[in-house]
A and B are shown apart, each in its own frame.
Chain A
Amino acid sequence: MMKTNGLSAFELLSELDDGMIAAATLPEEGGIITGKRTRKDRSDREPGAFARFMDSNWAAAIISMTVALAVLMGIIAAGRMAPKNAPGEEMNGPANGPANGPGIPAGTHQDVLEGVPGQSDGFIDNENNEPMAPGEMPDQEQDDVPGEAERQPVNSLVTGPVTVTVGSQTFAPLGMVTSWVERTDDGGTITTDKGTLALDRLEEVRNELTQVVSHSGGAMLITIPEDAFITNIIVYDEAMEHIVRDKRAAITPELPVGEYLVEVGIRRMRTDGTGEDVEYLFLLTVEENMAEEILYITAGKESFAVTGYPLYKSYYDSELGEQVNVDMPGATGNLEALHDVLPLVTLMQEKSFDLIPVNQDWELVSLDLYDDEYAPLGTVHAAEIPYLEPQVYTVVATYYFRNSDMEMAVEFPFRLAIHEKEVETVKEPNLESEPETEWVAGETGFAE
Chain B
Amino acid sequence: MNQHITMDAEIIDLYWRRDELAIQRTAEHYGALCLRVAMNILGNAADAEECVNDTYLKAWKSIPPARPTVLSAFLTKITRNLALDRYRASRRQKRNGEFTVMLSELGDCIPAPEETNATALLGDIKAFLYGLDELDRNLFVGRYFHAYEVGKLARGYGMTPNAVSVRLHKTREKLRIYLQERGYHI
Contacts and interface: CB of A to CB of B under 8 A. Distances in A.
Interface in B117-166: 118, 121-122, 125-126, 129-130, 133-135, 137-142, 144-162, 165-166
Interface string A167-206: 0000000000011000000000011111110011001000
Contacts of A195: 149-151, 161
A28 B146 CA distance: 13
B149 A193 contact: yes
A225 to B, nearest CB: 20
Contacts of B106: 6, 9-10, 13
Interface stretch (A34-42, A97-105, A390-398): A34-42
Contacts, number: 218
Interface string B148-186: 111111111111111001100100000000000000011
Interface string A1-38: 11111111111111111111111111111111111111
A319 interface: no
Choose among B29, B125, B138, B139 the residue with the greatest number of A CB atoms under 10 Å from its CB.
B138
A194 B118 CA distance: 35
A149 to B, nearest CB: 20
Interface residues of B, number: 77
A243 interface: yes
Contact of B160 (A28, A30, A191): A191
Interface string A78-119: 000000000000000000000000000000000000000000
B50 interface: no
A193 B72 contact: no
Contact of B162 (A5, A192, A232): A232
Interface stretch (A233-241, A403-411, A435-443): A233-241
A3 B107 contact: yes
6 contacts: A10-B84, A21-B70, A26-B156, A33-B156, A36-B138, A193-B155
Given A7-B84, A10-B106, A242-B169, 20 more contacts: A1-B116, A1-B185, A4-B111, A9-B103, A10-B84, A18-B70, A21-B141, A24-B141, A24-B146, A25-B146, A28-B156, A32-B1, A35-B134, A35-B157, A193-B152, A194-B151, A199-B97, A232-B162, A234-B162, A240-B165
Interface of A: 1-39, 41-42, 178-179, 190-196, 199-200, 203, 232, 234, 239-243, 263, 265, 277, 279
Interface of B: 1, 4, 29-30, 32-33, 36, 68-70, 72-74, 76-77, 80-81, 84, 87-88, 97-98, 101-108, 110-116, 118, 121-122, 125-126, 129-130, 133-135, 137-142, 144-162, 165-166, 169, 185-186
